Amino acid sequence: MDTTLHDPIVGQLLDGRYRVDARIAVGGMATVYRAVDTRLDRVLALKVMHPALAADVSFVERFIREAKAVARLSHPNIVAVFDQGAEGAYVYLAMEYVAGCTLRDVLRERGALQPRAALDILEPVLAALGAAHRAGFVHRDMKPENVLIGDDGRVKVADFGLVRGVGDVTDTTGAVLGTVSYLAPEQIEHGTSDRRVDVYACGVVLHEMLTGAKPHGGDTPAQVLYRHLNEDVPAPSQAVPGLAPELDALVAAATAREPEVRPEDAVALLALTREARSGLTDAQLDAVPPQARPEAGAGAESRTTVIPRVLPAEAGEAPNRTSRLETAPPGRTPPARSRGRIAAPRQGVVVAILAALLALSLGAGVWYINSGQFTRVPSVLGRSEQEARKRLTDEGLDVKVAEGFSDAYGRGTVMGTDPEPRSRVRGGGPVTIVVSRGPASVRVPDLRGRTLAEARSALKKDGLAAGVVSEEFDDTVARGSVIRTTPAAGTDIRPDAGVELVVSKGAAIDVPDVTGRSADAATAELEGAGLTVRISATRVNSTVAEGSVVRQSAPEGARLARGDTVTLTLSKGPRMVSVPEVTGQKADDARKTLEAAGFTVTVERGFPYLGDTVGKQSVAGGDKAPEGSTITLTTKGL
């Protein structure tokens, strides 16, 4: 059944530019369509947010963040974003389009992969994530659905829908984002996400490629989350006996439950992966796995929502060896391709067009050759990209855009065209404008003393990006202002690179001990030290006088920043406890009985002080006294 027939956006011209041809994928947040950019006449993937979510500001911000984040990442194994915009209820991204399949498709068709094939997929994935990590970004949603394998064997990381700068948001107070089977323990327990959550997810994906199944299963998402928190990822060789120990060690390193034990980022994990591969023999790399199949429910994972085109390999990039995937192990069938993503052959259309052109040329060829055939390329050097586009399109020329580095032309201005200015081009071109990215290296500005917002703005202006943001106490730099950067000010780095910022928390305040003091006195002392005080609505029984402080959220000696909050819990007085009857008992036995009931005991000896039997107690047995109060016992004389 053609489900696109009932999709209202199919057939529309979105934003006056993108003709939507067909729906090719549906996800929880957006739908992906095959579309044509009518200005540049190229096929692309159009990712359109569900209209119901477009009214939610947080969803829209996350959607736009994807475009901005991925646009900064230039790597042959990362899907590129061309454009972002909105029309009415539709918020969209224009992205690369490629024919191929996802790693989920491969695992669903084949189950476990040979180690060589698994490593051939993992290495370019880690190369892509490494570029993102070193630029200051975290993917946060790595899974087989987001690993695309092109028809030519290229591997690309897709769907940076959850990407964030490492320092933009280090903690989430809402729902945990990501797919449960690939979430790191710290994402589940604390909502924190740094580079090592991607490392953990890649370790889970490697386990799944080697065994054909996820390491932690369960009937409900809660069960899966519990196992990620409380159980180590099992060695792949437990499911597939005979796998090399180096592969077990690689999975164990990537999926350590304590983030500080894992490799610090994808670059470090890539180094470990290559080291592990170098220690394997051909027989170990080409070991044929058993007929393992993915566990039930594997298809329930969220579907891939970005369909990229394949880029040519760049010099110096990690080699892609996924051509081995084209030949299935004995007894297997090759994976079914996602033909919904592949453009239909156009040979018939081409033949028809050529025939029509031939017919026209017989009657009008002389006119075409002698008039209107060529257009001169106007000079747009030094103009902004927008100005250059308008100037060329006004001349009837199609425009393509490339980028380059230049010391002579400012960032964002045109540094050259192909063909060159004053050249003659046939018909509408196309003409490629080369837009300057500024110098080939950018000097990190001195940001000390600037607010975080000012620092980010300055970095963006200079063609750099704010990366990890951390905080330290500093009594010389105002709270919220930058102490230092990594790389340091004055360092020359590549454009668009991430710069880590260390921001001041202000001077440290040593928290005083205010337990036992009245609420007013404790509040005055803490506020006098520069702290904010909150009184808990819940009071507890205590031997401390009613209304006095029983405990404080930050203990004595803890270091806080000015304005940080200390919560105080007050006493509602002691519990009233029934006093045991102990007259007639030996003094030691009576003491033990009363102390077990929660009282303090003193013993007074009756003259002539030789008796040891309790003759009297200060509170009669059966009466009630405050817990912790003192009961006096008097012994009988002889």
Please give the DSSP secondary-structure letter assigned to residue 171: -
Instruction: Provide the b/e sequence for 488-504 (b: ≥16 CB within 10 Å).
Output: eeeeeeebbbbbbbbbb
Give the span between the Cα atoms of 178 and 187, in whole angstroms: 9
Using DSSP's 3-state secondary structure scheme, residue 54 falls into: helix
Instruction: Report the run of H or E that residue 591 belongs to, with start and end.
Output: helix 587-596
Where is 63: in which H helix or E strand? helix 57-71
- DSSP structure string for 235-274: PHHHHSTT--HHHHHHHHHHT-SSGGGS-SSHHHHHHHHH
- Look at residues 187, 181, 132 and name the one whose alpha carbon lies nearest to residue 158: 132
Rounded CA separation 15/97 (Å): 19
Can you tell me whether residue 593 is helix, strand or coil?
A: helix
DSSP 464: -
Q: What is d(CA 74, CA 429) in angstroms, rounded to the nearest whole number?
A: 27
Whole-angstrom distance, CA of residue 550 vs CA of residue 78: 56
Long-range pairs for 333-337 at CB < 8 Å and ≥24 separation?
333/109, 334/109, 335/101, 335/105, 335/106, 335/108, 335/109, 335/110, 336/101, 336/105, 336/109, 337/99, 337/100, 337/101, 337/105, 337/151
Helices 266-278 and 195-211: crossing angle, nearest 10°?
30
For the four alpha carbons of 61, 63, 69 and 72, in that order, the dihedral sign comes to: negative
**Sign of the C-alpha dihedral computed for residues 583, 585, 590 and 594 taken in this order:** negative
Nearest to 170 by CA among 138, 199, 204, 201: 138
Compute CA distances 631 → 37, 542, 589, 628, whole Å.
Answer: 90, 18, 14, 9
What SS3 state is found at 373? coil
Asked whether 408 and 438 are in contact (CB, 8 A), the reply is no
CA-CA distance, 145 to 158, in Å (whole number)?
Answer: 8
Residue 279 DSSP label: T
Nearest to 66 by CA among 1, 160, 129: 160
Contacts of 71 (CB under 8 A, 6+ apart): 80, 81
Q: What is the CA radius of gyration of the chain?
A: 35
**C-alpha span between 19 and 34 (Å, rounded):** 9
Of 526, 554, 551, 525, which is closest to residue 538 (Cα–Cα)? 551
Q: Catalytic pick from 141, 198, 248, 474?
A: 141
- DSSP assignment of 69-124, as one string? HHHT---TTB--EEEEEEETTEEEEEE----EEEHHHHHHHH-S--HHHHHHHHHH
Is residue 631 within 8 Å of residue 623, measured between CB atoms?
no
- Specify whether 141 is catalytic: yes
Strands 630-635 and 600-604: parallel
**Residues designated catalytic:** 141
